[in-house]
Structure formats: C-alpha cells, structure tokens
Amino acid sequence: MEDNIRHIANAILFDEDKALQGDREVREISVDGDIIHVTIAVESKNSIDDRRAMEDEIRDAIKRWHEDKIVRITSVAMDDVDVPCAHHHADANASGHDLPPKKSIPGVKHVYLVCSAKGGVGKSTVALNTALALSSLGKRVALLDLDLYGPSIPSLVGQDLPPIVVGNLIVPPEIHGMSVLSIGFMIEQDQPLMWRGPMVASVINQLLWEVDWSGNDIMIIDMPPGTGDTYLSILQSVNVDASIIVTTPSELALADVKRGVGVFSPYHVPVAGVVENMATYDWEGRDAVLGLLDNVKADDDTSKKAIERIKRILDTTKAIRIFGARTQALCSKMGLNLITSIPLDIALQNDNDSGTPYMLQPKKAAIREAFETIAKFIIERDKDTDEDEQA
Ligand SMILES: Nc1ncnc2c1ncn2[C@@H]1O[C@H](COP(=O)(O)OP(=O)(O)OP(=O)(O)O)[C@@H](O)[C@H]1O
Ligand SMILES: [Mg+2]
C-alpha cells in the first residue's frame, strides 16, 4: 500500500503542469489502522495557497484508491532540514519513481484494460465481444481475464480448457480464434477464490510474464471491479495503451466513473473512453404494431391523424433511453469520450448465460454495431503507433 501511496503522491508532486517550485519530496508515509498519513516537503518559496492546493489534490487522489481510509497530508518546509534532499526534481519520474520501470508484454503490440469501479456493469461482456469484433476485423487478439476473484470469461466463452505448458511458458488455449486465458481455466469450478494481496500480484505476474502471448496485435484485459490490488499490479508493471471504462447510466455507477478515472492518472495511463451499457431499450413489439397500423384503413381525417400520431410515438420507442442522457452529460463535463452505447437486450443476456458469445452470431444490428464501434475505435487509436513501427 505504501508503494501505491508514494506513487500517487509523486505523480502529483512532480506534475510539470503544477505550480510548485523547487525541490520537493514525499518525506514519510505511515499507515496506522484506518489512517494514512503522508508528509511532503516543499521549498518555502511556494505560497501557502499552492501548498494547500497540492495537499488537497494528493489527498483526493489517495482517497480514490483507498476510499475507506482517512487521509492526512502534512506539508513541511524542505529548507528547514539539514539533510540534502534525496529526490531532486530533475531525476524524479512520476511513472517510475522508486518503482521498477514498466514493461511491455512480449509479443503483444497493444494492451487495453476494460474497467469499472462498479461491479456488474458489463465489463466482461464488453471485453469478450469487443475482442471478438477485433478478431473479425482481422486482428490477432488475446483476451486475458484478470478478475481473479470472479473470473467470468470461461462461462462466457462456454469453454473450460486448461492451458498447456511448453518449456517454461503457459500456452493459452485458442478459443473462437483468440488466445484466451483466465484463472478460471486453472482451478476447480466453484472453488472459492480468496487471494491475499501478495498472491494477487504473483498470480498476475504469472498470467502476464509466464505465458506465451506472442503473435498478438491487441490484448484486451477484463479487469475486476474496483480499484484494488489487480489495478495496482497492472498499472505499476505493464505498459498499457489505455483503459476503457464501462458504466451503466445509474447515478451510482456514474459516481464510480469519476472515482475510476482518477485511478489511472498517477500511472499515466489514459482513459481512451467510456462505453455506456444497458442505457437503451429497443421495444421489440414496435415493428409488429407498425405493420398492423399500415394495414388499418382510415377514411376520415381524424383517424388518419391519430394513426400518424401513434406512428410518431412508436418511433420514439426505438432505442428508448430509459435513464436519459446522464452518461453523455458526465462525459462532456469530465472531457471524456463516450465511445458507444450498448442496448439492454435479453439475447445478449441469454448468450452470456449459455456461453455462446453474442458476436459469433449477432442478432441485432444495433448491438453488433456497438461492439464493432469499440473495436474500430481501438484500431483507429492504434493506427499511428502501428504506422510508426512499419516506417
Ligand atoms: N447489454 C446487456 N443487456 C443485457 N444483459 C447484459 C448486458 N450487458 C451485460 N449484461 C448482463 O449483466 C450481467 C453483468 O455483466 P458482466 O458480467 O459482463 O459485468 P461485469 O462488469 O463484468 O461484472 P463483474 O463486476 O462482476 O465482473 C451479466 O448477467 C450479463 O449477462
Ligand atoms: Mg466481469
């Protein structure tokens, strides 16, 4: 936990856009039960307002990761101390400060995290179907389930294939044309999954670095809900292209988007965009009613007008926005990109339940297009780096 706190504090302390001047350092971190205490030292030429603003920002950022703790920040004057400062601005690096540098996953060109601070919003559904959409667009795709506490990918793909080991490396099974790996493939089904913090890091290390991931253009990582140990392990150690945040339009889920976004900034991982899930509903009876209305013979003006009116009303039932445009409003406010919106649909739910991924046989254009939009968005985003590599 101290590492994570130090990293967050350093990321803000050494952000070049901030007003602080001169040397600065995180002097002390202590975690005492529910209280996190961080002492930062800055030069006394900084104004009291700048120091307070810095303290507030560090406190808020730490709270995003450790919301159940009380966070106290104290800033002291650096110049009062005789001992020379160990970390000078010039050699400080927010992404690697006091931590080993991040590494790329061998054989994988791009890595995207599908995340949400809130559970059950559709991360695994989005991760799987976006991966399949990418695959159908000709990309070589790896799908890694890092939800160690509740791995869903085995049941969503309808297969439970133990990976094989060749030499020192695990070879992920090929499922629906993708390299797919989940802790669920390696343990007994229904076994309760209780990991201690250090075990999480070691299992994640194994799934990342002891696996033959070679030959993949894009890795989609299905993350667990929250902002816990898995996020810490990944953000500290892996070069990640970006995160994609999934949300439903409920106020609680949207509040978690705000919290979730703050998790990535200390680690310099951009939020590529937001995917809204289960926000619209397409009433299936609409087309049938419209068909019936077409066959009604209306002789008088009043009846004709009434039929036109009913048709107009029915038109608004295509993709009914059950909760209004809350996600769009939040994204605009936070400067986030709303990539697409996936309708609430019983077929998607049924396919998930039966382990036959929706995108293998998409039934509705709106849902297929939504997953393809995410896939195309990722491909477009990666184009610049891919072109640089080819040049
Ligand atoms: N667009 C949708 N329409 C209907 N049902 C959906 C839709 N998206 C997801 N679901 C259903 O909602 C539930 C939660 O989805 P999913 O498991 O993908 O969420 P999650 O965010 O990965 O959950 P967790 O936080 O537990 O990992 C599942 O039962 C899934 O089938
Ligand atoms: Mg999930």
Provide Rg for the chain, Cα atoms: 25
Mean pLDDT of the chain, nearest integer: 86
The reported pLDDT for the residue numbered 390 is: 67
Domain boundary among 300, 315, 330: 315
* pLDDT digit string, tens, across residues 320-379: 777 778 889 889 888 899 999 999 999 999 999 999 999 999 988 899 999 999 999 999
* pLDDT greater than 80 at residue 15: no
What average pLDDT does range 231-238 have in this prediction? 90
Q: Is residue 116 part of a domain?
A: yes
Residue 91 pLDDT exceeds 60: no
Ligand 1 centroid vs 367 CA: distance in angstroms?
Answer: 14
**Above 70 in pLDDT, residue 81?**
no
The domain containing residue 9 runs over which residues?
A: 2-91
Q: Whose CA is nearest to atom 9 of ligand 1?
A: 122
β-partners of residue 211 are 170
Instruction: Decide which of 296, 315, 334 is a domain's last residue.
Output: 315
Predicted pLDDT of residue 100 = 67
| Same domain (yes/no): 292, 214 | no
- C-alpha triplet 274, 17, 114: angle, nearest 5°: 20
Query: What confidence category does residue 84 fall into, taking pLDDT thresholds of 50, 70 and 90?
Result: very low
For residue 99, being part of any structural domain is answered with no
Output the CA 102–ligand 2 centroid distance in Å.
25
Write the pLDDT tens digit of every residue in 257-310: 877 788 888 888 999 999 999 988 887 778 888 889 888 888 899 999 999 999
Do 138 and 261 share a structural domain?
yes
- Of 44-58, 83-97, 154-168, 172-186, the range with the lowest mean pLDDT is 83-97
66 and 210 part of one domain:
no
C-alpha angle 153-373-252 in degrees, rounded to nearest 5: 65
| pLDDT tier, 86 (very low <50, low <70, confident <90, very high otherwise) | very low
Protein residue with least CA distance to atom 3, ligand 1: 344
Best of 114, 118, 124, 144 to mutate for ligand 1, by most ligand atoms within 8 A of CB? 124
CATH at 13 = 3.30.300.20
Same domain, 304 and 355: no
pLDDT in tens, 137-194: 999 999 999 999 889 999 999 998 888 888 889 999 999 999 999 999 988 766 666 7
For residue 178, the SS3 value is: strand
Average pLDDT score over residue span 15-24: 78
Domain-ending residue, one of 298, 315, 332: 315
What residues contact residue 123 under an 8 Å CB cut-off, 6+ apart?
A: 114, 115, 116, 222, 223, 225, 246
The answer, yes or no, to whether residue 17 has pLDDT greater than 60, is yes
Q: Are residues 232 and 365 in the same domain?
A: yes
**Diameter over CA atoms, the chain:** 97
- Asked which of 233-237, 248-252, 371-375 is least confident by mean pLDDT, the reply is 248-252
Around 157, how many Cα atoms within 13 Å sit in the side-chain half-sphere?
27
- CB within 8 A of 9, min separation 6: which ones? 26, 29, 38, 40, 58, 61, 62
Say what the alpha-carbon torsion angle 118, 124, 129, 130 is, to the nearest 10 degrees.
60
- Give the pLDDT score at 389: 67
pLDDT band at 248 (very low <50, low <70, confident <90, very high): very high
Residue 94 has pLDDT above 50, yes or no: no
pLDDT of residue 197: 65
| The two three-digit tokens of residue 200, written as one number | 């999480």
List, in order, residues 6 or more apart from 131 with CB less than 8 Å away.
141, 143, 178, 218, 220
Two tokens, residue 35: 């209280």
Mean pLDDT of 103-126: 95
Of 184, 185, 174, 104, whose CA–CA distance to 141 is shortest? 174
How many domains does the chain fold into? 3
Mode of pairing for the β-strands spanning 338-344 and 271-281: parallel
Closest atom of ligand 1 to 118 CA is: 25
Distance 119 CA to ligand 2 centre (A): 7
332 within a domain of the structure (yes/no): yes
Residue type, 68: D
Ligand 1 pocket, CB under 6 A: 116, 119-125, 147, 150, 152, 225, 277-278, 342, 344-345, 348-349, 352
Same domain, 42 and 136: no
Q: Give the pLDDT score at 139.
A: 96
